[in-house]
């Protein structure tokens, strides 16, 4: 019934050595003779010893935890995107023997906003922040000398590494596919346009069209939605379809949610997708596979982004590599059923 865990002291006694020697063995440090190491190892096995995280932490000033900060709006049910990223960090962290402590903060930083408890308690060895966030939170982390990695967001600040989506590549692939399928009137709908990822998608849209010698028509663009939810896609698509002169034969949405909203509008207004209008999303969230028609979209490796961030962070924590860097993850166009080939100018591999 007594369930006292064994301590390093007992191991030392059993092995006939000092506790500091046991500590050396436990932490796999050199300068321990093979025989002593074995004696200690055996004692550890027999007594079933495992060092307590708290004791270790107090003495070494480490926590074994990684903090993960997200703004509240990014961590709701409607936003599976960052949730996936978070789960990606969980998996990777485990491999490095860290646990992830999650917290959310308000999207706007107010006067008496609470600081994430894990920062106050010195309960994390490094921090990951995902998505657009108020600059002050970044400072809050850096002021505590904690390694920091951002995901899907960037700031120009010494020491802040980022894991980013190659948005330009994704849009390029989407536009390229559409033009090669014979589309010329290609619209774009977006929202939350100041978000770095959304902004670069929009910029890439305009640039790719230009490169292909296609005029960028303002009446095919709607980017003034404040958010990128399904409803916003509905409204934005409505605008584009109603305002535009020569109607678009294809619409690129800033993300899947908006693409789904766009499809809802199109269908509800009697347009056939993809017969009348092709739609391409971005992110490849789970729903993209379930909607009808199945959504052609740009796949973003969300879990992988979380995993990469953890790897970078651990490198910093363990001083293996402390270079400030941006990592761009590649993306791919996933062809499904929401896009139609008008006239194939080149052979298009359809899976």
Residues that bind DNA (CB under 7 A): 4-5, 7-9, 16-21, 23-24, 26-27, 30-33, 35-37, 49-52, 55-56, 58-61
Nearest Cα to 333, choosing from 228, 181, 211? Answer: 181
Answer whether 98's CB lies under 8 Å from 145's CB: no
Q: Rounded to 5 degrees, what are φ and ψ at 219? A: -75, 0
- Applying CB under 8 A, what is the total number of residues that bind its own copies? 42
Rounded alpha-carbon distances, angstroms, from residue 343 to 8, 37, 119, 203, 213 = 74, 73, 57, 26, 18
Compute the C-alpha angle 303/224/241, nearest 5°. 100
User: Residue 35 binds which entry of DNA, its own copies, none, with Cβ cut-offs from 5 to 8 Å by kind?
Assistant: DNA
From the list 80, 123, 88, 79, the residue with the least C-alpha distance to 103 is 123
In the complex, the smallest distance separating the C-beta of residue 180 from its own copies, rounded to whole angstroms, is 29
* Other Cβ atoms within 10 Å of 295 Cβ, number: 28
CB of 93 to DNA, least distance (A): 20
Q: Does residue number 54 form part of the binding site for its own copies (CB under 8 A)? A: yes
- Residue 287 binds which entry of its own copies, DNA, none, with Cβ cut-offs from 5 to 8 Å by kind? its own copies
Q: Is position 139 an interface residue for its own copies (rule: CB under 8 A)?
A: no
Tokens at 162, concatenated: 């980022």
Q: Which is nearer to its own copies, 100 or 237 (CB)?
A: 100
- Does 272 help bind its own copies (rule: CB under 8 A)? no
Among 12, 69, 85, 100, binds its own copies (CB under 8 A): 100
Tell me how far CA of residue 305 lies from CA of 3, 110, 126, 153, 252, in angstroms: 42, 29, 17, 12, 23
Q: Considering the rule CB under 8 A, would residue 228 count as an interface residue with its own copies?
A: no
Instruction: State whether the Cα torsion 88-199-188-77 is positive or negative.
Output: positive
Give the separation between CA 160 and CA 324, rounded to whole angstroms.
6
Q: Which of residues 288-347 bind its own copies (CB under 8 A)?
A: 290-292, 303
- Selected from 99, 157, 224, 326, the binder of its own copies by CB under 8 A is 99
Task: Report the distance separating Cα 12 and Cα 22, nearest Å.
Answer: 6
Q: Is the dihedral of CA 250, 254, 258, 260 positive or negative?
A: positive
Beta carbon of residue 3, minimum distance to its own copies (angstroms, whole number): 5
Q: Which does residue 7 bind out of its own copies, DNA, none, counting CB within 5 to 8 angstroms by kind?
A: DNA
Stretch that binds its own copies, among 12-20, 82-90, 172-180, 339-347 (CB under 8 A): 82-90
Whether the link from the prior residue into 293 is cis, omega within 30° of 0, is yes
Which residue(s) pair with 233 in the sheet? none
Residue 345: how many other CB atoms lie within 10 Å: 11
Does residue 145 bind its own copies (CB under 8 A)? yes
Nearer to its own copies, 38 or 289 (CB): 289
Residue 123 binds its own copies (CB under 8 A): yes
Of its own copies, DNA, none, which one does residue 271 interact with (CB within 5 to 8 Å by kind)? none
Q: Residue from 7, 51, 329, 337 that binds its own copies (CB under 8 A)?
A: 51
Point out which residues bind its own copies (CB under 8 A): 3, 5, 50-55, 57-58, 63-65, 77, 80, 83, 87, 90, 94, 97, 99-104, 117-118, 120-123, 143-145, 260, 286-287, 290-292, 303
């Amino acid at each position: 019934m007594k369930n006292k865990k064994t301590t390093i002291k007992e191991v030392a006694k059993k092995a006939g050595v000092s506790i500091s020697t046991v500590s050396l063995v436990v932490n796999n440090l050199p300068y321990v003779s093979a025989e002593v190491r074995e004696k200690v190892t055996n004692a550890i096995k027999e007594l079933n010893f495992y060092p307590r995280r708290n004791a270790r932490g107090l003495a070494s000033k480490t926590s074994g935890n990684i903090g993960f900060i997200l703004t509240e709006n990014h961590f709701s049910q409607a936003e599976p995107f960052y949730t996936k990223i978070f789960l990606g960090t969980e998996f990777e962290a485990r491999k490095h023997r860290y646990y992830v402590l999650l917290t959310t903060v308000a999207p706007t930083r107010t006067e008496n906003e609470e600081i994430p408890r894990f920062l106050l308690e010195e309960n994390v060895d490094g921090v990951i922040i995902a998505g657009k966030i108020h600059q002050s939170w970044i400072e809050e982390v850096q002021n505590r000398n904690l390694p920091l990695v951002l995901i899907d967001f960037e700031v120009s600040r010494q020491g802040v590494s980022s894991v980013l989506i190659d948005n330009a590549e994704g849009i390029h692939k989407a536009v390229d596919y559409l033009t090669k399928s014979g589309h010329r009137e290609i619209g774009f709908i977006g929202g939350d346009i100041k978000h770095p990822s959304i902004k670069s998608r929009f910029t890439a849209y305009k640039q790719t069209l230009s490169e292909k010698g296609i005029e960028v028509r303002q009446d095919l663009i709607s980017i003034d939605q404040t958010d990128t939810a399904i409803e916003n896609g509905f409204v934005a698509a409505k605008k584009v379809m109603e305002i535009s002169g020569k109607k678009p034969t294809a619409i690129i949405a800033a993300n899947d949610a908006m693409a789904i909203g766009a499809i809802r509008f199109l269908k509800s207004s009697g347009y056939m997708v993809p017969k009348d209008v092709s739609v391409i999303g971005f992110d490849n969230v789970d729903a993209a596979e379930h909607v009808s028609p199945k959504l052609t979209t740009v796949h973003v490796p969300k879990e992988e982004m979380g995993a990469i961030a953890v790897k970078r962070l651990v490198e910093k924590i363990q001083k293996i590599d402390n270079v400030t860097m941006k990592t761009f993850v590649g993306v791919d166009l996933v062809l499904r059923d929401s896009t139609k080939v008008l006239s194939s100018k080149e052979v298009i591999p359809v899976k």
